[in-house]
Amino acid sequence: MSDGPRHPADGMGTPPGPNGRQRPSGSQTQGPGEQQPQWGQQPPGQPQWGQQPPGQPQWGQPPGYPGYIAPPKPGVIPLRPLGVGEILDGAFQATRKNAKAMFGSAVLFQLGVAVLMALAAGAFFGAGTNVESFIQPDGMPTAAGIAFGGGVFATFLLLALLNSFSVFVLQGVLVIPVSRAVLNQHTRFKQMWGRAKGRIWPLIGLCALWLFIGGPLFFAALVLLIVLGVGAELNGWIIAVLVLVMLAAALWIGIKVMLAPAALVLEEIGVFASIGRSWRLMRRNWWRIFGIVLLTLLIVGIVTSVVTVPIQFIVSFFGMGTGGAESAESMVVSSLIVSLVSTIVSSVFYAVAYAFQAGVTALMYVDLRMRHEGFDIVLMKEAERLAATAGQSGPASSPGQGY
From the list 343, 352, 346, the residue with the least C-alpha distance to 106 is 352
Q: Which residues pair with 16 in a beta bridge?
A: 22
* 3-class DSSP assignment, residue 22: strand
Distances from the Cα of 381 to the Cαs of 69, 71, 86, in angstroms? 17, 13, 21
What pLDDT, on a 0 to 100 scale, did the predictor assign at position 24?
Answer: 47
Distances from the Cα of 262 to the Cαs of 18, 51, 80, 201, 215, in angstroms? 87, 53, 19, 14, 22
Task: Give Cβ neighbours of residue 328 (< 8 Å, ≥ 6 apart).
Answer: 131, 132
Section 44-60 average pLDDT = 53
The residue with greater pLDDT, 236 or 127, is: 236
Distances from the Cα of 65 to the Cαs of 30, 60, 61, 399, in angstroms? 42, 11, 7, 31
What pLDDT, on a 0 to 100 scale, did the predictor assign at position 89?
Answer: 94
* 3-class DSSP assignment, residue 321: helix
In this structure, what are the phi and psi dihedrals at residue 355, rounded to the nearest 5 degrees? -65, -40
Q: Is the pLDDT of residue 330 over 90?
A: no
Q: How far apart are CA 109 and CA 162, in angstroms?
A: 10
Percent of the chain surpassing pLDDT 70 = 64
Section 294-301 average pLDDT = 92
Residue 276: pLDDT band (50, 70, 90) is: very high
pTM: 0.71
> Do 107 and 115 touch, CB atoms closer than 8 A?
no
What pLDDT, on a 0 to 100 scale, did the predictor assign at position 69?
Answer: 73
What pLDDT, on a 0 to 100 scale, did the predictor assign at position 137?
Answer: 65
Residue 353: pLDDT band (50, 70, 90) is: confident
Q: Is the pLDDT of residue 319 over 80?
A: no
Residue 37: pLDDT band (50, 70, 90) is: low
The residue with greater pLDDT, 218 or 32, is: 218
Alpha carbons within 13 angstroms on the beta-carbon side of residue 51 total: 9
